[in-house]
Amino acid sequence: MADGQAQTALSALSDQLADVVQSASRSIVTIAARPRQTATGFLWKTDTETIVLTADHVLEREDEILVTLPDKREVKAQLIGRDPTSDLAALRLPGVDLGADVVAAEVGENLRVGNLVLVIGRPYSDGVRVSFGAVSSIDGPRRSSQGGEIEGVIYADITMYPGFSGGPLVDLSGRVVGLASSQLTRQSSSALPVATLRRVANTLLTHGRVRRGYLGVGTQQAPISAALAAKAGVTQSSGLLVVTIEPNSPADKAGLFIGDLIIGVAGQPVTDVDSLRGALTPDRLGQAVQIKLLRGGEPTDVPVTIDERK
């Protein structure tokens, strides 16, 4: 490609990026809910209303939350709900007429590794700030370090400047493909995908929280010998050794003991903490399920009524 053609192509890309930022910025807001540092959020359209999505960790208070709209109007927001395990929170703007120049974000879901993306922040009311890069990987489905279900963590070669958390990750059409967070993973430049945003936002609108089951046990992974596995009628090589039990927890009430080795819940094998969390689904809350154990080397089943983690 000749130098002139290359410059023309780069100039066209530069103009395209500027147009993307200008268009996407109509949905991006500033959020004041912690001392000294404001953060970013964006307008998200549900089946019933337009709300604000942001990162949970930027909300250090749940009342007196202020949102500055793209047209610089400062309005009060109400917390709909929050999910620390996926670092997502939803806000409502009661009685606010957004007007024609402030719109909900357009959404895109066909993100691929290698796509170019921008993370757009509005940490201050004077305008947006931008970082640009490529999607380096999409990891998942997986669970966060706090047990939250995430359809796929997006990693991009972008810089998360102060106040960018809660801002949208957008593609070159200006569509939101994720929500950026500096605390979702150990890498600062990661984002929640649209599938997670949609699922968790709908749950927060319905329940105000993401409901999760728990047993009330502290565990550590432990090996299972081939002989013990055969005796228990399982093929797995590991389970979870119970090392602590919370008083009055479901495990305590059901009579689990320290030293029990959990190898299954409701017919699902349990080999590690993720598989235990995966078995404690919201539809099992309040239900008695069979916990398969090795107790003193002997297989046994104990019914446990799953409670909700508060």
Which H or E element spans position 298? strand 298-305
Q: Is 213 in contact with 186 (CB distance < 8 Å)?
A: no
| Amino acid identity, position 59 | L
Task: Provide DSSP, 187-220.
Answer: SSSEEEEHHHHHHHHHHHHHHSS---EE--EEEE
What is the β-pairing status of strands 298-305 and 116-124? unpaired
Residue 49: CB atoms within 10 A of its CB come to: 12
Give the whole-angstrom CA distance, residue 38 versus residue 285.
37
Name which of 200, 205, 207 is nearest 308 in CA terms. 207
Q: Is 78 in contact with 94 (CB distance < 8 Å)?
A: yes
Query: What number of CA atoms fall less than 13 Å from residue 292's CA on the CB side?
Result: 19
- The number of angstroms, rounded, from the C-alpha of 83 to the middle of its chain's C-alpha atoms is 8
Q: What are the tokens at 68?
A: 């500055």
| Catalytic site positions | 57, 87, 165
